[in-house]
Structure 1
Amino acid sequence: MIKIKRFTIVAMTLLMGLSACNDLLDLKPLSQISQADYFQTETDLQLFSNPFYNNLLDKSPYDLQSDLYVCQNLSDIMLGGTKRTVPASGGGWSWTDLRRMNTLIAYADQCKDEDAVIKYTALTRFFRAFFYFEKIKRFGDVPWYEAELGSADEELYKARDSREFVMTKMIEDIDYAIANLPDKAKETSSPYRVNKYAAMALKAQFCLYEGTYRKYHSLNLEGHDYKYYLEQAATAAKNLMNEGVYSLYSTNHPESDYLTLFAQENADPNEYILAIKFDYGLNIYHNATAHTLVPTQGRPGLTRKMVNTYLKKDGTAFTNQSGWQEMSFIDETTDRDPRLAQSIRTPGYTRIGQTTVLAPDLSISVTGYQPIKFVQDPKASGGNVDRNDRSTCDLPVYRYAEVLLNYAEAKAELGTLIQADLDESVNLIRQRAGMPNLDMNAANANPDRYLSDAETGYPNVTGANKGVILEIRRERGIELNQEGFRFDDLVRWKAGYCIDQSTYGMYFPGPGAYDLSGDGQADVTLYANGTPKPDVTSGVAYEIGNEIILSGGNKGYIYYHKNIERTAFDEGRDYLYPIPINERSLNHNLTQNPGWNDGLSF
């Protein structure tokens, strides 16, 4: 998941001041920490906690595959079946960072600065809640540890605690963090350091996850029910909203604001609650721009299913009009939600700061729907931004738009949503995009057929709020595209079947020349398999069935993965990951997750 070069880690270390901490740790092993060596000053606490940022925050959310976004080589999750196996070790079952957290909490009060003790204890408890959220998502029940343990401690070999117990402890941690972390004004490194609002955002996020997971998986545990967690999510999000310190980025240019937000060098401090800093001068990079521009970096593309979910500019469903299934690329991208043209190359597209019109490049995008989110001005990064690992736009961890979506969804799933809730959440996002408001009554009176169809949507959404829940999910998929949420959303909604849906791309009615940029010139010429390659005066020629595969043979949707063997999502297994074999061999109290066979029996 985290793809960051060694030199990037070093640069991040320099930025956050980790080198001094690492030097100290090299002098003595962690097990020999003493009062005389560490935790005497606020600087000690900061240096010891800095690795949490680098180790835990995802630096490449933009390339995670799902039913809405695929690459040339499908991920193991997308392939399914035997591509997902029980690992001998690793597999996300790592506790090193937790041990560091518990060490800091145990020794923090050795610092003479009481305010620093409270601040960095709160920061560490934020990251402990963050850490356990990832474990809960991945494994379900996991052992809870809140004290530093040595290799001989029997507690290391205990059974897994229930997710209810772990969630209760996570809420204790995050509530402490909310109460004791600095606010935005006092955290001068905002949005690159955790503050109380990041803690609110995390609480809303993991409580929404747990509430919807329990609701859609019909998971009833002793303790709290799903409604409790949804109420916690809604309250945390609303408290953040009521603080009035964050807002959506807008320059009143809906045709460009969404694109600019993610491509600019520095995170917008009004919308980004927590961001990961990248910097050309410090050689701190990621790979988002090259990922979508260099043919060896994945050849990503949005799926046709994703593109179909974007509404028309007037707020009506694209899939409600006649002939939508076989529209040309120019026709299907005309008069759509402006975020579509800020998420993929559409007719008339130019790079930021450039004037040359660029068509989608089928040699770089396997669906033809070529992503442009996080693609920077080519002059950025010293003019090297198009090279591998040279992107410098800051990446979001929490942003205000997600908080608004979490609030609306929690209220809708609870059945307490009213139009006023939408007006202060989802509709603010739509207004930034230049889209009409979502009307709750209209949505519930006529739920979108495409979003509820078993082939393209969520047939398990029912009840009086079915229509508005589907619309909130639509908005979530569009607004949070390429930000790393999709697979987790499918898991909590018990919608793993979406993984099995076809990874179609743009439509072609057969051999011929096609204008994709809108300039009247052919950008792509398709010719039938086995026929002579035509001479073309513009664009690129592709042989159908060889250089480009269509779903219907000589016509249809681009279907790059048509001949790739995939196995259906296993509803009884694939919502959780397996416990590694070596871990279960060492600790016989660890039970394996359902459906995973590791050959061990004890």
Structure 2
Amino acid sequence: MKKAFKNILISMGLLAGVAACDVNRLPETNISDLSFWTSESDIKAANNYLYTFLPGFNNDDVWSDDAFGLASNTISDGSRLAPATAGNDYNAPYNLIRAANNILEKAPRATVSPAVLDRYLAEARFFRGWAYFSLVQKYGSVPLILKTLDENSPELTEAPASRETLLDQIYSDLDFAIVNLPTITALGNIDYGRISKTAAQAFKARVALFEGTFSKFHNQGNAAAHLTLARDAAKAVIDSKEHALFGSYFDLFQMAGEGRQNKENIIVKQYGVSSTERVLTHSYYRSSLETGNVNPTKSLADSYLMKDGLPITKSPLWMKPDSSQKVFKNRDARMSATFMKRGDPMMTTKPIFDIANLVFNKTGYMFRKFANIEDWNTQASVIDRPLLRYAEVLLIFAEATYELNNAITDAELDMSVNLLRDRGQVARLSNAFVKANALDMREEIRRERRVELAQEGFRYWDLIRWKIAETELVKPVLGNFYFKTEFAAATVNLTPDNIILVQDASFRKFNPAKDYLWPIPINEIALNPNLQQNTGW
């Protein structure tokens, strides 16, 4: 399997370079155009380029209340300005859209069967939907471009499409992908990593949950319609029996969780199978986690339940810790898998972790997901980045069900969030448990999402769609308890409760009149007079 995976990774890397030239160059020569689009291998080579747009590791969690870096972040603290020029947030999705449109227009020239053609067109349409969702999340309304353009195309100055029109197109693209893509079982080991039928279904569920809850809590659009799509798409993935949770939560984010044998991963950004069998590498552990570019906050730490299923504010198991190790005592096992704690393997120059370095880890906490001593040493990790896991599908099903009905049955909890709680070694959630302990079911479902998907880039967008960013992002950024006998001497601000104060609330703001959408880059408005800046920017 490793040899086959190595071969496909190498071919994807080489063909992506060829496809990049053919897909992006304007104008294209007649020779390259006629000679390239002739066979299935040509279409597959062009499609391989689309996979290079899958996002790699990043520090997006610092936009939220889950993480803090070496310094304040202008998105989370509300101090950013409209950018003068477009960066990857705006340009990269449109580059992907153009590449997908190019394939959709030219792949039909190839001498292939209708089924083969539709399979690759389905991949292209999936990626077009992926790109447009990224734009809708950030900007709301943007121009809808469904064909390749040249410098004289009138569409270059087209007015933005409505949010509803964009969502309709995304759903249309994903529905085509669902019908025409192979199952992950049919893809097998050789084509592992390519987009499958359940990948399209799961991504549709993600899109629909975002839009359904955004509509519900921002009082716009047809929330029920989107939430129904989210629930049904998630249920289709569950019913497919193609996926299951991986046994070890920690190993999900290590080499042990790589490849087809891990049925939890639905979409991944692939790097390789070993230091000698790779195309891409990353240094996420050393460049981001160990050096403090992204550190967990007290807000995230406090969200992990005690083993009895109760939050720390209600559980008799909770005691104020007098040492760093006791922060993790009797907690959800996923906390120990996500946060570094005393005794964990760390790095070559410090093999065993004892306490976070406050010079780098400003919160006094350090993330553990993806931490690997060998990767720290080589700075060339090939651990894949999971982009969509079966766990997320279970969470989507639970949340969409609850938001549709303002209720969820115990049976529905057992087929979704309780499977995740079982893995986290936490007491199961039920309606009786919620009532007996004066809990809120919505908050418990949201809590489950937060801890299960921590450090995976979801929290900021959850705050946006739930319309609680205006409440959560204006709070002070707090860290760990300050254990004076453990932390090295450092200048640190503390609250009266002996908690590390990373950023005071006076330096944080969120304007609900404008900050729920991102600013359109100023140069894009200058290039297209029909573009209008989002309100307040």
Q: TM-score, normalised by structure 2?
A: 0.89
Indicate how the Cα distance of structure 1 residues 186 and 234 shifts in structure 2: closer, same or farther if over 3 A, else same: same
Instruction: Please say if residues 62 and 483 of structure 1, whose CA atoms lie closer than 8 Å, have aligned partners that are also in contact.
Output: no
SS in 2 for 1:59: coil
Matches within 5 A, 1:388-403: 389-403=379-393
Instruction: Please say if residues 17 and 49 of structure 2, whose CA atoms lie closer than 8 Å, have aligned partners that are also in contact.
Output: no
Distance 2:184 2:347 in 1: 31
Instruction: Please say if residues 85 and 521 of structure 2, whose CA atoms lie closer than 8 Å, have aligned partners that are also in contact.
Output: yes
Are 2:490 and 1:550 equivalent residues in the alignment? Answer: no
What amino acid is the match of 1:123?
Answer: E
Distance 1:24 1:166 in 2: 27
Indicate how the Cα distance of structure 1 residues 93 and 355 shifts in structure 2: closer, same or farther if over 3 A, else same: closer
What's the CA shift for 1:410?
0.3
SS in 2 for 1:582: helix
How much is the aligned-residue C-alpha RMSD, in angstroms? 2.7
Distance 1:447 1:236 in 2: 32
Indicate how the Cα distance of structure 1 residues 53 and 317 shifts in structure 2: closer, same or farther if over 3 A, else same: same
Residue of structure 2 equivalent to 1:428: 419
Counting helix residues as a fraction of each chain, which structure ranks higher? 2
What's the CA shift for 1:567?
3.8
Residue of structure 2 equivalent to 1:73: 71
For structure 1, list consecutive stretches of 5 or more residues without a partner in the other structure: 1-10, 251-256, 380-384, 449-466, 514-522, 525-539, 597-602
What amino acid is the match of 1:170?
Answer: I
What's the CA shift for 1:22?
4.2
What's the CA shift for 1:69?
1.2
Residue of structure 2 equivalent to 1:413: 403
Residue of structure 2 equivalent to 1:560: 502
- Number of aligned residue pairs: give it: 515
Distance 1:204 1:234 in 2: 7
1:544-589 CA distances to partner (integer Å, 9 max, x unpaired)? xx2x22234xx62112334x97341111111111112222122221
SS in 2 for 1:185: helix
Which of 348, 360, 363 is equivalent to 1:367? Answer: 363
Residue of structure 2 equivalent to 1:93: 90
Moved more, 86-95 or 323-332: 323-332
1:322-351 CA distances to partner (integer Å, 9 max, x unpaired)? 796953333332111111111112344345
Indicate how the Cα distance of structure 1 residues 142 and 475 shifts in structure 2: closer, same or farther if over 3 A, else same: same
Indicate how the Cα distance of structure 1 residues 60 and 357 shifts in structure 2: closer, same or farther if over 3 A, else same: closer
Instruction: Please say if residues 237 and 403 of structure 1, whose CA atoms lie closer than 8 Å, have aligned partners that are also in contact.
Output: yes
Instruction: Please say if residues 291 and 388 of structure 1, whose CA atoms lie closer than 8 Å, have aligned partners that are also in contact.
Output: no
Residue of structure 1 equivalent to 2:433: 442
What's the CA shift for 1:130?
0.5
Distance 1:40 1:589 in 2: 39
Which of 271, 276, 292 is equivalent to 1:278? Answer: 271
For structure 2, list consecutive stretches of 5 or more residues without a partner in the other structure: 1-8
Indicate how the Cα distance of structure 1 residues 352 and 582 shifts in structure 2: closer, same or farther if over 3 A, else same: closer
Structure with greater Cα Rg: 1
Residue of structure 2 equivalent to 1:570: 511
Residue of structure 2 equivalent to 1:104: 103
Instruction: Please say if residues 306 and 318 of structure 2, whose CA atoms lie closer than 8 Å, have aligned partners that are also in contact.
Output: no
SS in 2 for 1:269: coil
Instruction: Please say if residues 292 and 370 of structure 1, whose CA atoms lie closer than 8 Å, have aligned partners that are also in contact.
Output: no
Residue of structure 1 equivalent to 2:468: 495
Instruction: Please say if residues 255 and 383 of structure 2, whose CA atoms lie closer than 8 Å, have aligned partners that are also in contact.
Output: yes
Residue of structure 2 equivalent to 1:537: none
What amino acid is the match of 1:361?
Answer: A
Distance 1:342 1:570 in 2: 35
1:408-444 CA distances to partner (integer Å, 9 max, x unpaired)? 0000100152211111111111112222211134325
Residue of structure 2 equivalent to 1:579: 520
Residue of structure 1 equivalent to 2:478: 504
Indicate how the Cα distance of structure 1 residues 272 and 496 shifts in structure 2: closer, same or farther if over 3 A, else same: same
SS in 2 for 1:398: strand
SS in 1 for 2:266: strand
What amino acid is the match of 2:15?
Answer: G
Residue of structure 2 equivalent to 1:310: 304
Which of 51, 54, 64 is equivalent to 2:52? Answer: 54
What amino acid is the match of 1:151?
Answer: E
Indicate how the Cα distance of structure 1 residues 25 and 577 shifts in structure 2: closer, same or farther if over 3 A, else same: closer
Identity %: 29
Are 2:108 and 1:135 equivalent residues in the alignment? Answer: no
Moved more, 284-293 or 197-206: 284-293
Q: TM-score, normalised by structure 1?
A: 0.80
Indicate how the Cα distance of structure 1 residues 52 and 172 shifts in structure 2: closer, same or farther if over 3 A, else same: same
Moved more, 439-448 or 471-480: 439-448
Residue of structure 2 equivalent to 1:120: 120
Matches within 5 A, 1:206-225: 206-220=207-221, 225=222
What amino acid is the match of 2:386?
Answer: P
Instruction: Please say if residues 191 and 275 of structure 1, whose CA atoms lie closer than 8 Å, have aligned partners that are also in contact.
Output: no
Instruction: Please say if residues 190 and 269 of structure 1, whose CA atoms lie closer than 8 Å, have aligned partners that are also in contact.
Output: no
